[in-house]
Amino acid sequence: MELPTVAATMSTLRLLQAQRHRIGTGFQAEGWREPVAVLDPFIMVDHFRMREAVFAPHPHAGFSAVTYLFDDSATAVISRDSLGGEYDILPGGLHWSLAGRGLIHDEYPADAGGEAHGLQLFVNLPAEQKLREPAVMRLSPEQMPRRSGDGWSAVQVFGGTAELALPWPTALAVVDVQPGALYPLTLAAGEQGFALVVHGRGHAGDLPVAPGQAVHLAGPAAAVIKAETVLRLAVCSGRPLQEPVVRHGPFVMNDEGQIVAALQRYQTGAMGRLPARHLSNEQR
């Protein structure tokens, strides 16, 4: 495949800056919460590091909460939910909580003091699936397809040829690019996406990129990212829903009436129950 020239891509590229946030000493993240139209079909993305259980059990409805742990994560993450599940998310693994009409979950590091390193993505659901039954989907690192090119390698976490029945066309690939090598970022007509810099430095066209930044691209378009140092990218893409979004805390719906109904389901126990976990002496 012939790589696109810099001149052909400069007009389509823009940089998105992360917002940094933390919760005490146990959680810190670089987050992207652009206007809905910019990230659609994603609602938000967090590149996080978590050392403590900082989130109490909490509800979600109207979207999917997706957790991916990088292969350098020092610990697994435990995910519990009101469907009765308790799962280990291992380094390199994916956990997809499709909330639909509503569920309650929490996640925390498996090893006290160990640092979990990963991504959490909120992926919107189309209007006709907002009230579907909740479900959980998972992939191990061994189930994720791999591909490589001249100086780069990629893991297809979901979407593309990955084995996951997605509710809407979306994709995530984690790409490692060696110094001096090029990685082609291409999108089909009707798609948009962004490449988050996990670590390393490089250039997208003539734009320098570094951790805390994301390169945004709307299709049909192509760009070339050149690595200056060892560069790791998390490349998200999808077909925009282009539907109304009304968000209230952990609920993402199409109108305010659906938000009120989600609150009622949560308050009446229709999303199930998830008791606070009991901490061991090592975790206190």
Could you tell me which residues are annotated as the binding site for Fe cation? 58, 60, 105, 107
Burial 217-241 (b: 16+ CB within 10 A, else e): bbbebbbbbbbeeebbbbbbbbbbb
Q: Are 208 and 233 in contact (CB under 8 A)?
A: no
Q: Are 157 and 180 in contact (CB under 8 A)?
A: no
| AA identity, residue 130 | K
* C-alpha–C-alpha distance, residues 151 and 226, integer Å: 10
| AA identity, residue 84 | G
Cα dihedral 53, 58, 64, 68 in deg (nearest 10): 0
Instruction: Mark out the alpha helices in the chain (DSSP H runs).
Output: 6-9, 36-39, 256-267
Annotated binding site: which residue ranges?
Answer: 58, 60, 105, 107
Q: Are 79 and 85 in contact (CB under 8 A)?
A: yes
Per-residue CA distances from 84 to 66, 96, 105, 272, 274 (Å) = 18, 15, 10, 9, 8
| AA identity, residue 233 | L
